[in-house]
Amino acid sequence: MPQLNENFLRLEKNYLFINIAKKIAAFKEAHPEADIIRMGIGDVTLPIAPVVIEAMKKGCDEMGVKETFKGYEDSGAGYDFLREAVSGYYKSFGADVAPDEIRINDGAKSDCGNIVDIFGDDNTILVTDPAYPVYVDSNLMSGRKIIYADSNEENGFAAMPDESVHADIIYLCSPNNPTGSVYTRTQLKEWIAYAKKNNAIIIYDSAYEAFITDPDVPRSIFCIEGAKECCIEMCSLSKTAGFTGMRCGYTVIPEALKVIASDGTEVSVAQIWGRRQGSKFNGVSYPVQCAAAAVFTPEGLKQVHENIAYYQENARIISDTMTKLGVKFTGGVNSPYIWFKCPNDMKSWDFFDLMLEKIAVVGTPGAGFGKNGEGWFRLTSFGDRQRTIEAMERFEKLVSDMK
Ligand code: MLT
Check residue 96 and give its pLDDT.
96
Q: What is the number of the ligand 1 atom nearest to the C-alpha of 41?
A: 2
Q: Which residues are annotated as a binding site?
A: 15, 42, 72, 108-109, 132, 177, 208, 236-238, 247, 282, 378
Check residue 13 and give its pLDDT.
84
Neighbours of 397 (CB within 10 A): 12
388 in contact with ligand 1, CB cutoff 6 A: no
Nearest-10 crossing angle of helices 80-92, 286-295:
20
Per-residue model confidence as pLDDT tens digits over 6-26? 999 989 888 888 999 999 999
Confidence at 262, pLDDT banded by 50, 70, 90: very high
Q: What angle do CA 244, 55, 385 make, to 5 degrees?
A: 45
Q: Give me the domains of the chain, ranges plus CATH numbers.
A: 6-47+300-402 (3.90.1150.10), 50-297 (3.40.640.10)
**In sequence order, which residues have a C-beta less than 8 Å from that of residue 78 and are 6 or more positions away?**
102, 103, 104, 105, 250, 283, 284, 289
pTM of the predicted model, to two decimals? 0.96
Check residue 14 and give its pLDDT.
84
Q: What is the number of the ligand 1 atom nearest to the C-alpha of 177?
A: 3
How is the chain split among helix, strand and coil, in percent rounded to 5? 45, 15, 40
Percent of the chain surpassing pLDDT 90: 97
Report the mean per-residue pLDDT for the chain.
97
Check residue 121 and give its pLDDT.
93
Confidence at 106, pLDDT banded by 50, 70, 90: very high
Q: Which residue, by CA, sits nearest to atom 3 of ligand 1? A: 42
pLDDT at 53 over 90: yes
| Cα 251 from Cα 222, distance rounded (Å) | 12
- CA 79 to centroid of chain Cα atoms: 23
Confidence at 403, pLDDT banded by 50, 70, 90: confident
pLDDT average, residue stretch 212-221: 96
pLDDT at 48 over 90: yes
Per-residue model confidence as pLDDT tens digits over 143-199? 999 999 999 999 999 999 999 999 999 999 999 999 999 999 999 999 999 999 999
Check residue 136 and give its pLDDT.
96
Provide the 8-state DSSP code for 381: S
Per-residue model confidence as pLDDT tens digits over 335-359? 999 999 999 999 999 999 999 999 9
Confidence at 94, pLDDT banded by 50, 70, 90: very high
Check residue 248 and give its pLDDT.
98
